[in-house]
Chain A
């Protein structure tokens, strides 16, 4: 009997190098993949990364002071998050998860509202009319499954827009992850699915999620083109996601992209302690790949960025954070009667009775 070649069934072997454009010292290592961005856009993208780092650092402090609530740290993932988001257009639709707040804000949610969401004030998810996004998804995988529907809706409208979604490495084990990419594939819907592989689902290392050597290759199960990219390299992330976005927008169907990245902080600030499951050597290894430093080296060498510029910009972001905190802290107290009104368009009699009851209580 002929012996089957099981190795040949593996689309990725794990030996492939992820796409990379920049070396850590800011040299272009792959000219072919270099994205077509103007100097102004390169600086603009870098500023969004700094913005995310500053807002992340401030959010951690504000959380410690009890002035913010739920925070899932993003420091370390600025290239993965901000460069992928930078490839998207304003009328593209974002369905992110709980760690994807920076993208949501850059897509149009006022920072003050993002802070309200963190603190747990219902005004945080009163979305502006023009904001094409869903609130951060807490149920891991649900955003992927819904993205297929959002994308099919965009296709039916005939716009050249895409739906895009993010999950983490742990999220790729969910049924909804697979159903989402499979539905989008079956309907040839314009979607870009991004897996931010930061190595851990809380404490569980990526290797315990699956025997697949890459997460990108999971797209093969749904018939999607799939790519693995250096998630600490903003230009590689942008180049890949931009091409995927345009490919999907042109009616070719969805794409799956895995970004290899790392979160410097905890899973969330709600009690997770990464020192229980990560070594300081490993953390140092990833800090040495810092996405902001890499991009700064590149821009400085090109004469597009100076320390003075950076200091001035950091001051600007800090002022923006201060203003957002001020707005957060001036929100009115939340009422049960208003929550009841949010529930239905056509409020049933049972709920009307409860509204009346709570309004009387609140008037006292």
Chain B
């Protein structure tokens, strides 16, 4: 056990899987000798060689197509898209190809690809580096979308994703990479896909969230506790498919729910969660579903992140509105 950052947890997961399975290959722009623009693949090429960890030409469609092609030959590719704002270059290869390959083959082939890609705001990045396009990805049938919120989950979920015989899009939040450390086992372990986790137990109100907003929600919960409001925080972890049972269970328990996401209101997966609750959990509700999300604009210029991104105070306000309805 050691206290490590999330980016180190990602590196450790890749290290473990490269060592465990010779079919695992890590590639992308600057992931080789450079060790990745965030050092997520640091030291891996030196350890495993250029055949296992390698740089590619600068072309996202080509990168995911490379993964799709390698998968036909029995390999287990783990490509990286440098920033998930660049997914549009590769959207056919993700949504039109990878996600539907097993379906297109009527089940006769598998495509065990895990795409890693950073996203997320709060680090003053330039345009199209921080956008949260998780909702677009979550709407693609055949694709799992995994979003860890801490180092422990990041390592265990990434190992599960790589070992999965189905395609996974693994979103890594930029602000979570190095913002805190957590005790993480040195050896390989898995965290189950398709399963949400209660990150804080509470009885008055449920916050259902994912990604960096888990941190903000936990911080909001601590403040709210001082005012006598006991918040339960459910971290979705896999945002597609949703852990419907866990969502309905926490709603049943508290009767109040606030959905928190970093994406604009029209994006993300909160709308899908709200629809599920409206359809199957409405009789448990004592108040309308509360929502915290970014405004419906494109991601802002960096100096405006502070006023634009949802934060702890937005969550506190929405929780109070919901419990005092």
Contacts and interface: CB of A to CB of B under 8 A. Distances in A.
B241 A349 contact: yes
A105 B271 CA distance: 46
A50 interface: no
Contacts of A139: 92, 96-97
**Residue of B56, B68, B244 with most chain A CB atoms under a 10 A cut-off:** B68
A142 interface: yes
Contact of A142 (B92, B193, B244): B92
Interface string A331-349: 0000000010111111011
Contacts of B97: 139, 142, 146
A350 B72 contact: no
Interface in A303-357: 339, 341-346, 348-351, 353
Interface stretch (A7-15, A28-36, A68-76, A153-161): A153-161
Interface stretch (B32-40, B101-109, B197-205): B101-109
A247 interface: no
A131 to B, nearest CB: 9
A180 interface: yes
A203 interface: no
Contacts of B241: 348-351
A151 B110 contact: no
B59 A179 contact: yes
B62 interface: yes
A274 B241 CA distance: 46
Interface string B62-76: 100111111111110
Contact of B107 (A147, A153, A163, A342): A342
Nearest to A186: B57
B69 A343 contact: no
Nearest to B65: A145
Interface string A150-177: 1111101100000100000000000110
A349 B69 contact: no
Contacts of B194: 348-349
A115 interface: no
Interface string B112-155: 00000000000000000000000000000110100000000000
B275 to A, nearest CB: 13
Contacts of A179: 57, 59, 61-62, 65
Nearest to B105: A125
B257 interface: no
A133 B47 CA distance: 34
Contact of B67 (A95, A149, A345, A351): A149
A350 B73 contact: no
| Interface of A, helix, strand, loop or mixed by DSSP | helix
Given A139-B92, A182-B59, A148 B106 contact: no
Contact of A339 (B69, B103, B110): B103
A227 interface: no
Contacts of A134: 72
B231 interface: no
A123 interface: yes
B16 interface: no
B59 A183 contact: yes
B93 A142 contact: yes
A163 B109 contact: no
A93 interface: yes
Contact of B62 (A124, A126, A148, A339): A148
Given A145-B65, A151-B69, A186-B57, A343 B242 contact: no
Interface residues of A, number: 44
Nearest to B112: A345
Contacts of B109: 127
Contact of B96 (A142, A151, A339): A142
B92 A148 contact: no
**Residue of B57, B65, B105, B108 with most chain A CB atoms under a 10 A cut-off:** B65
Contacts of B103: 339, 342-343
Contacts of A351: 241
A135 interface: yes
B187 interface: no
A122 interface: yes
**Residue of B66, B75, B110 with most chain A CB atoms under a 10 A cut-off:** B66
A50 to B, nearest CB: 31
A343 B72 contact: no
Nearest to A127: B108
A151 B72 CA distance: 10
Given A139-B97, A349-B194, A150 B164 contact: no
B107 to A, nearest CB: 4
Contacts of A127: 105, 108-109
A349 B104 CA distance: 21
| 10 residue pairs, one from A and one from B, having the closest CB atoms | A149-B69, A153-B73, A145-B65, A179-B62, A345-B165, A149-B66, A150-B69, A348-B241, A342-B107, A350-B241
Given A151-B69, A344-B166, A346-B165, 12 more contacts: A135-B104, A147-B69, A148-B65, A148-B69, A152-B69, A153-B74, A156-B70, A157-B74, A175-B61, A176-B62, A343-B141, A349-B244
